[in-house]
Structure 1
Amino acid sequence: MPVAQITVIPLGGPGSPSISSYVAELQRLLGETPGIKFQLTPMATVVEGDLDILFQVFRRMHELPFKKGALRVITSISIDDRKDKELTMEGKLESVRKKLKEG
Structure 2
Amino acid sequence: MAIMQIIVMPRVPEGISISPFVAEIHKYLQAQKLPHQLHDMGTLVEGKTSELLTLARKLHEIPFRKGVQRVYTIIHLDDRRDKKVSLGDKVKSVRQKMKKDNL
Above 0.5 in TM-score?
A: yes
SS of residue paired to 1:17: coil
2:10 corresponding residue in structure 1: 10
C-alpha separation in 2, matches of 1:50 and 1:4: 10
Q: Which runs of 4+ in 1 moved over 4 A?
A: none
Q: Is the 8 A contact 1:2 1:49 kept in 2?
A: yes
The share of aligned pairs that are identical, in percent, is 42
- Give how far 1:16 is off: 4.5
- Give how far 1:59 is off: 0.7
How many equivalent pairs are there? Answer: 101
2:63 corresponding residue in structure 1: 65
For 2:5, give the aligned amino acid.
Answer: Q
Q: Deviations over 1:12-42 (max 9, x none)?
A: 36x95210000000000101114x2000001
Which of the numbers 82, 89, 92 marks the counterpart of 1:91?
A: 89
1:32 corresponding residue in structure 2: 31
TM-score, reference length from structure 2: 0.91
- Give how far 1:71 is off: 0.8
| Superposition CA RMSD, Å | 1.4
Note the residue ranges of structure 1 that are not aligned, 5 or more in a row: none
TM-score, reference length from structure 1: 0.91
C-alpha separation in 1, matches of 2:7 and 2:74: 5
